Structure 1
Amino acid sequence: MTADPDGVQKKRAYHICKRVFDLIMSLVALIILWPVFLVIAIAIKIDDPRGGVFYSQTRIGKDGRRFKMFKFRSMVTDADKKLKMLLKYNDVDGAMFKMKEDPRITRVGKFIRKHSLDELPQLVNVLLGNMSLVGPRPPLPREVKEYGLADVQRLSVVPGCTGLWQISGRNNVSFETMVALDLKYIREANIWVDFVILLKTFRIIISPNDAY
């Protein structure tokens, strides 16, 4: 196989541009959206005063590195403890767990999930560099333990807040399809692809989606 210096250089330039874009856009978004953050935080506290506003969870990033991913809390405070009892009700095949009528989700949680507003604190992860605006979904450690050879390829790039999976049906696609979409993105990623994915993500935020 012959070397492709032009291809390597293009990818390097793309990743540099992507990181600069991530930094600028995440900082601007955090400044503009702080009133939205405040409203969501108040709503979460009114709905379930016992818990915190934010929720952090260990995820696996590029090259298998662990990091804390931030979200607005959309579940009851002891949601992780209740997970084992609910695993048998998983509505998604494969390593992921998703449940359409998850009893752990709060009333406000259902709304912010439908509009993907629970994901907004991940803008902080983008600033820190352990996530990008666009990329594969960052998996949980227990999910990675069940990965096959193809699945592991998802860990070759920085995970994203949104991606092909999120704009292609999200919870209506199987785990295998999600992996295929992530690998397709990794192969074809460029500035234009990222821009199109972000535009379609904004549409999901404005209009309710099938998230649960």
Structure 2
Amino acid sequence: MCAAVPRRRFTGTGLIVATHNPGKLREIVELLAPYGVHVSSAAEHGLPEPEETGTTFLANAELKALAAALAAGVPALSDDSGLAVDALGGAPGIYSARWAGPDKDFAAAMARVEHELTDKGAASRRAHFVCALTLAWPDGHYESFEGRVSGTLTFPPRGDRGFGYDPIFVPDGMSQTFGEMHEATKHRISHRARAFGQLVEACFAS
């Protein structure tokens, strides 16, 4: 049996978060806060959003992180995440942001989810959130991780915290939607937190 290849450790002090989504940026900054990393965003560096041509969350996270790291010459962290609804065959999935349209209208996107479930006569409201994280270096090396959390959809949306589809998602074992939860609670159980825990253990923890 071949020995496992060790993960590359992050040893710098500065990191670009390869996103133009302020909600994602805020959550990632909060998760990175204990590690003394200076975080800036792709938007601050004037980096364009690359076209997400991947067919999986991991593929899209990798292409975004590599594009930012190569363009800026410093390590970059990218998140690609979304909602997968069982009765819709996993949709919107990697197209979660695109369902919100160019104006990022997630109220319309959540209404579309409800409408499509109703049209299908689907009794199940089971769904899961997926988050893929990629940490990339300017030399082209990258490390990737994926986390997910399962739950049930609820309509109408509840809560004005979080972002995206958070107000319609109740994680298993909880009574509140992500949109109703305090940020500290969400950070303990979310798909992003689970992916981030793997990243920290592999690349940040001493």
Same fold (TM over 0.5): no
User: Where is the helix percentage greater, Structure 1 or Structure 2?
Assistant: 1
User: TM-score under structure 2 normalisation?
Assistant: 0.30
User: Where is the strand percentage greater, Structure 1 or Structure 2?
Assistant: 2
Higher relative contact order (CA 8 A, sep 6+): 1
